[in-house]
Structure 1
Amino acid sequence: MKLTRLCIYPKDVQRITGKSEKASRRLLHRIKASLGKQEHQFITTDEFASHTGIKEELVLQYITD
């Protein structure tokens, strides 16, 4: 089994959604706020998938290291 990153970054959100970098940052910020996370905490692929309704398997396909 290949290990992948757990955290998702704005560049990943851009690849997945086709949104701009600024819109991707805003989306991650809204997800953090809805989960009650602090600014320094990360969003996981699982949290991103459940918030956006995209299957985690699809999210993981778009994450590159």
Structure 2
Amino acid sequence: MKQKRLCIYPKDIVKITGKSERYARNLIQKIKEKLNKEEHQFITVEEFCAYAGFEPEKVKEVMID
């Protein structure tokens, strides 16, 4: 069984949204600010989906391994 990641990276957001990597990095920063996370902390797939309005299962299907 393949291990799934818990966190989302800019490359995943690029593939999901079709936007640039700069956009993806900025979006992650906005989500961290909204969730009061520190710079070293990661964003989970569920946190990204809650912010962006996506269904987690669909996002996990598209994510790059």
Normalising by the smaller structure, the TM-score range is over 0.9
Write the distance in 1 (CA, Å) between the matches of 2:29 and 2:50: 15
Q: SS of the counterpart of 1:46?
A: helix
| 2:11/2:64 contact within 8 Å kept | no
TM-score normalised by structure 1 residue count: 0.94
- Offset of residue 63 of structure 1: 1.1
Q: Deviations over 1:4-28 (max 9, x none)?
A: 1000000000000011000000000
The aligned residue for residue 39 of structure 1 is: 39
Identity %: 52
The aligned residue for residue 48 of structure 1 is: 48
Gaps of 5+ in 2: none
What code does the residue aligned with 2:55 have?
K
What code does the residue aligned with 1:39 have?
E
Paired residues for 1:1-65 under 5 Å: 2-65=2-65
Aligned residues: 65
TM-score normalised by structure 2 residue count: 0.94
- The RMSD of aligned alpha carbons is 1.0
- Stretches of 4+ aligned residues off by more than 2 angstroms: none
